[in-house]
Amino acid sequence: MMNLRYTGGPAEQDINRLFSRWMEEMLNEDEKVVYLDADLMRGLNTADLWKKRPDRVYNCGIQEGNMVAVAAGLCLAGYKPYVHSFTPFVTRRAYDQIAVSVAYAHKSVHLIGTDAGILASDNGGTHMCFEDVAIIRAIPEACVIDVTDAAMFHALLRNTKDRSGVTYFRTGRRNMPDVYLMDTEFEVGCGKVLAEGTDVTVIASGIMVASALEAAKALRQEGIRARVVDPVTIKPLDEPLVLKCAAETGAIVSAENCNVIGGLGSAVAELVCGTKPVPVVRVGVEDQFGQTGPVGFLREAYGLTPERIIEGVREALCMKGR
């Protein structure tokens, strides 16, 4: 088990206050890094960076498909593009360009989708994408990262810079509690055990990691020892770690801020059912569209709470025969 920064309170600094500095550091360190945005520079506070570095920072307007195609072209010219828009627009709207112009053509582009899942909040149902993980996960050799906090985002932005293929970050801009220390190291395909336990494993991603830690804390009061795992990347999944957890605890609960169809829970179930069958309970959005509301309301509406994880643990333990 590792040392964590999580206190149960809000983040020390929100991602939208940090991202521009991170990107400027990367632009300064590597002359091949470029940043593209779809007229949402206010979202990550990159408008000033655009003014400072118009040679390597581009506002492509509200045309995400074209933006991804431009990024593919820049990659062909030897550049390393980072591309940002809200989650539904950088995935659903640009999907053909991602699949064909980038992945099929063996180009390397980093996609950043902000306001993931319920974090779209008052932007409403049209901007609340729950199926992004499923559709990007279906692209061969794509990497899917459901960002847990600023420390993870910062580290993986940097150490995936030279990764080939599609790398997709889904993240919030606000309302993401700190979980990790800022100097924590992360690696694609390598999950992290955040709390030890022998009765059940909770595998959680993104904002649900903090909820899983809260659930595990409450379950300990009942004598249930829940192991908490952050997969770090949903694809590639840390298969040895998941199988080890299945063998040692005999039951798994997944928790994610997206559709359970094709998401983290699906990835876990697909692995264990063919290798080490154990009960798997999936906590997440149950085949629904988004809606407008504060994040707290949306957590309750879609069952993205520590209480729902606890219910899932009880279901899994019942199936396990405990």
Which amino acid belongs to residue 75? C
The residues, ordered by sequence, that sit 6+ positions from 202 with a Cβ below 8 Å of its Cβ are 212, 215, 216, 226, 227, 228, 229, 252, 253, 254, 255, 309, 312, 313
Joined tokens for residue 24: 């400027």
Whether residue 45 contacts residue 57, with contact meaning beta carbons closer than 8 Å, is answered with: no
Whether residue 146 contacts residue 304, with contact meaning beta carbons closer than 8 Å, is answered with: no
Structural domain range at position 225: 192-320
Whether residue 219 contacts residue 310, with contact meaning beta carbons closer than 8 Å, is answered with: yes
Residues 161 and 232 in one domain: no
Residue 308: what are its φ and ψ, rounded to 5°? -70, -35
3-state secondary structure of 176: coil
Residues 164 and 196 in one domain: no
Residues 158 and 19 in one domain: yes
Residues 263 and 303 in one domain: yes
Q: What does the pLDDT average to over 180-200? A: 96
Residue 23 lies in a domain: yes
Residue 106 clears pLDDT 90, i.e. is over it: yes
Q: What is the mean pLDDT of the chain?
A: 96
Residue 59 lies in a domain: yes
Buried b (16+ CB within 10 A) or exposed e, 109-134: bbbbbbbbbbbbbeeeeebbbbbbbb
DSSP class of residue 293? S
Residue 148: what are its φ and ψ, rounded to 5°? -85, -45
Residues 159 and 236 in one domain: no
Other residues' Cβ atoms within 10 Å of the Cβ of residue 30: 14
Rounded Cα gap, residues 92 and 132, in angstroms: 7
Q: What is the CATH number of the domain that holds 258?
A: 3.40.50.920
Residue 31 lies in a domain: yes
Q: Among 113, 137, 171, identify where a domain stops.
A: 171
Domain count for the chain, please give it.
2
pLDDT tens, position by position, 263-285? 999 999 999 998 989 999 999 99
Q: What percent of the chain has pLDDT over 70?
A: 100
Residues 222 and 152 in one domain: no
Rounded Cα gap, residues 97 and 210, in angstroms: 34
Q: What does the pLDDT average to over 165-177? A: 94
Residues 167 and 264 in one domain: no
Please give the pLDDT value at position 1.
Answer: 63
DSSP 230-252: E-S-SBS--HHHHHHHHHHHS-E
Residue 243 clears pLDDT 70, i.e. is over it: yes
Q: Which class for 12: exposed (0-12), middle (13-18), buried (19 or more C-beta within 10 A)?
A: middle
Residues 198 and 287 in one domain: yes
pLDDT band of residue 8 (cuts 50, 70, 90) is confident
The total number of residues written for the chain in this structure:
322
Rounded Cα gap, residues 256 and 283, in angstroms: 7
The residues, ordered by sequence, that sit 6+ positions from 204 with a Cβ below 8 Å of its Cβ are 211, 212, 228, 229, 230, 254, 255, 256, 264, 309
- Tokens 């003014």 correspond to 51
Q: What is the pTM of this model?
A: 0.96
pLDDT tens, position by position, 40-54? 999 999 999 999 999
pLDDT band of residue 175 (cuts 50, 70, 90) is confident
Please give the pLDDT value at position 321.
Answer: 85
Residues 43 and 154 in one domain: yes
